[in-house]
Amino acid sequence: MSPETIFRIHLLLGYVAWLLLFGAYIWPRLRAMDSIDAHRAIATLHSFRFFGLVFILPGVVGNLPAGFATFAAYGDFATGLLAMLALLMARQRFTFWLFVVAFNVVGTLDIVVDYYRAIQLGLAALAGELGSTYAIPILYVPILMITHFAAFYLLLRAQPKPDRRFADNAITP
């Protein structure tokens, strides 16, 4: 099999494995959580995206086109910083939600543009040039994309309204 075929199989199976795990264990928990806690959990995962800077670390990646590596590295870095800012602003609700939307929009666009550019540049055929970073698109990117979609769903879903029967009878100090 060619490196390009192996890479594509790995990428596809990375999504399949993460979707199976996400659907069975993560998604039910996220849906049941308070909205802020669910987004904090997703932001925590994305806060590690600073690791994408490894694409521009000399000696780690082989001969990838510089334009691809630089864009991918800084897109991940920006997403990671925005996710960290969301976590730091969890007590300031309005700012928290701004950063949640920002890191999800920037992060999703980063991944979509990286996929587009990778296809345009034929990077699947250069999979062997990824060196130790080969694991990033295979093991890490699928769960990032899946959690971005989950975050958008959670942002757009209707929030349950409190049951007024209980709220009216609550004892207040």
Residue 96: per-residue pLDDT: 98
| pLDDT exceeds 90 at position 13 | yes
Residue 96 burial class via C-beta count within 10 angstroms: exposed 0-12, middle 13-18, buried 19 and up: buried
Residue 129: per-residue pLDDT: 83
Which residues, other chains included, contact 154 with Cβ-Cβ below 8 Å and sequence gap of 6+? Answer: 30, 31, 35, 38, 39
| pLDDT exceeds 60 at position 164 | no
Question: What pTM was computed for the model?
Answer: 0.88
Q: What is the pLDDT of residues 92-149, one digit of tens each?
A: 999 999 999 999 999 999 999 999 999 998 889 888 888 888 899 999 999 999 999 9
Q: Between these two residues, 94 and 163, which has the higher pLDDT value?
A: 94
CA proximity to 146, closest of 33, 53, 7, 20:
20
Radius of gyration of the chain, Cα coordinates, nearest whole angstrom: 19
Mean pLDDT of 43-51: 97
Residue 161: per-residue pLDDT: 53
